[in-house]
Amino acid sequence: MKGQIEMKQELFFGNWLSAATDEKLEIHEQSWLLAEDGKIKSLGKEKPQVAESVRVHNFGDKLLIPPFSDLHLHAVQAMNCGLGLDLTLLDWLKTYTYPEESRFADPAYAEAVFRRVIHELWKFGSLNSIIFSSLHKEATLLLMKLLQEAGLRAYVGKVNMDRLSPDYLHESAEESLAATREWLEESRAYGALVKPIITPRFAPSCTDQLLEGLGLIVEDYDLPLQSHLNETPEEVALVHELFPRAQNYLEVYEHFGLLPRGKTVMAHCIYNSREEEAFLLEKQITIAHCPSSNMNIASGISRIRDYMKEGFLIGLGSDISGGESLSMQQVIKDALKSSALLSRKRKLTVPPLSLNEIFYLATRGGRAFFPESGGFEEGLSCDFLVIDDEVDKLPRQFSLEERLHRFLYYASPDEITTRVLAAVILPEPQL
Ligand code: GUN
Ligand code: FE
């Protein structure tokens, strides 16, 4: 038609499963999804009428699910996965984490590790992620560049920390703020899929001067923010000691303008006071629930299901290397197990997280950060994972819902055979 701009269309066929809400699994069996310019146009049983030239991807009887969003991970801790998990947070940081993060002054080391992390995010289907780098500006820029090249969607933060760390992993407040502004200017090149996020490590790692400066940067650049909150009782006690005037931990961040509404993600949030809970809700802060990490380093069990029902924004985080794996299937299993134990501890007065609730957390929990991903409604980015569970080889039949259970709770990540972002099949990233 005259004047009409040509759209790039693609057709995909298979069994589509998504968490429409935390209570409803949506299933489109043997259905057609039409994508236009990388976005979902329609999904239904009828094959849309399209030109002969439109590419058709037929995934037959395979399961097609939204990609996972990993809302909290430390890319620079990947080589520590599985190490030191018999310690608790503050000792673990000193003994394992800070020495490892100091290695990221070396760009060659950084590149080797980041390539592995990116390969795993791809392999495990975490096409959306929110990532801590180290305090090193160059390493952080490199991580952003490599993510962009791999076609993954991510927020990445240069860590800020100017106290309570060893000399070999330390920056002054001035250095930290100057490096952060430089990093923000230089990271503009990676804008479309990979975005910067302000990242004070956690309140105890930062002086008032640093937090104040970061608050100004958040305002100047209108940026999102990530940090840690209420992960262990010892950490909470340390915050009270270091910030005696603050009523609670969250207020420290609030005081310095570090809680941009709807654009803040806080990892853990286990030991929240009533006041903090009200404030988390009011500020629309996303909670990154990290069950693997919380169990490994004995941090505690978060009342995630209560929070979901009370309207908090919550998603899942692997938190490597507090968590031992980047596999979201692992994190999903740990979310189930820790909520089941909490349910038992409360004499079954509250149920554990249901399958669909956890599926919702893993795919839509990051909606404040990745509103374009996580489902199959018209207008969303055409993002999905193809799961080949080979059920036709098994001696009995399973419903589509049962197949999803098996994939999430039982199967090997190798069942993920294809990853699609904005209607493009992502090639395997180079190691
Ligand atoms: N709190 C401050 N730094 C860290 C970290 O690296 N990992 C975890 N789990 N908690 C933290
Ligand atoms: Fe963490």
Q: What is the pLDDT of residues 224-253, one digit of tens each?
A: 999 999 999 999 999 999 999 999 999 999
Q: Of the bound ligands, which one is closest to the alpha carbon of residue 98?
A: 1
231 lines ligand 1 (CB under 6 A): yes
The dihedral built from the CA positions of residue 89, 98, 208 and 229, taken in this order, carries a sign that is negative
**Both tokens of residue 137?**
């500006």
- Phi, psi (rounded to 5 degrees) for 372: -85, -5
> Residue 4 has what pLDDT?
60
Interhelix angle 137-150/107-123, rounded to 10 degrees, is 30
* Atom 7 in ligand 1: residue holding the nearest Cα: 322
Q: Mean pLDDT throughout 349-364? A: 96
Q: Of the bound ligands, which one is closest to the alpha carbon of residue 131?
A: 2
Q: Does the pLDDT of residue 64 top 60, yes or no?
A: yes
% of residues, the chain, pLDDT over 70: 99
The rounded Å distance from CA 251 to ligand 1 centre is 19
The rounded Å distance from CA 88 to ligand 1 centre is 11
**Residue 7: DSSP 8-state:** P
319 lines ligand 1 (CB under 6 A): yes
The rounded Å distance from CA 235 to ligand 1 centre is 10
Mutate to test the pocket of ligand 1, among 96, 231, 235, 265 (most ligand atoms within 8 A of CB): 231
The rounded Å distance from CA 93 to ligand 1 centre is 7
Q: Of the bound ligands, which one is closest to the alpha carbon of residue 202?
A: 1
> Residue 104 has what pLDDT?
98
pLDDT band at 6 (very low <50, low <70, confident <90, very high): confident
Q: Of the bound ligands, which one is closest to the alpha carbon of residue 76?
A: 1
Q: Does the pLDDT of residue 94 top 50, yes or no?
A: yes
Least Cα distance to 66 among 276, 300, 375 occurs for 375
> Residue 1 has what pLDDT?
47
228 lines ligand 1 (CB under 6 A): yes
The rounded Å distance from CA 297 to ligand 2 centre is 11
Residue 59: other Cβ atoms inside 10 A: 19
Q: Does the pLDDT of residue 392 top 60, yes or no?
A: yes
293 lines ligand 1 (CB under 6 A): yes
Interhelix angle 208-221/173-186, rounded to 10 degrees, is 20
The rounded Å distance from CA 131 to ligand 2 centre is 9
322 lines ligand 1 (CB under 6 A): yes
The rounded Å distance from CA 228 to ligand 2 centre is 6
Q: Mean pLDDT throughout 293-307? A: 97
* Atom 9 in ligand 1: residue holding the nearest Cα: 322
> Residue 2 has what pLDDT?
46
Q: Of the bound ligands, which one is closest to the alpha carbon of residue 72?
A: 2
93 lines ligand 1 (CB under 6 A): yes
Q: Are 239 and 252 a contacting pair, CB within 8 Å?
A: yes
Average pLDDT in the chain: 97
22 lines ligand 1 (CB under 6 A): no
Q: Among the atoms of ligand 1, which is closest to the Cα of residue 204?
A: 2
> Residue 219 has what pLDDT?
97
160 lines ligand 1 (CB under 6 A): no
Distance between CA 6 and CA 256 in Å, rounded? 49
Q: Among the atoms of ligand 1, which is closest to the Cα of residue 74?
A: 6
Q: Does the pLDDT of residue 3 top 70, yes or no?
A: no
* Tens digits of residue pLDDT in 127-163: 999 999 999 999 999 999 999 999 999 999 999 999 9
Distance between CA 397 and CA 406 in Å, rounded? 12
**Both tokens of residue 140?**
């952080």
The rounded Å distance from CA 286 to ligand 2 centre is 14
Q: Are 57 and 317 a contacting pair, CB within 8 Å?
A: no
* Tens digits of residue pLDDT in 171-198: 999 999 999 999 999 998 877 899 999 9
The rounded Å distance from CA 90 to ligand 2 centre is 12
> Residue 274 has what pLDDT?
98
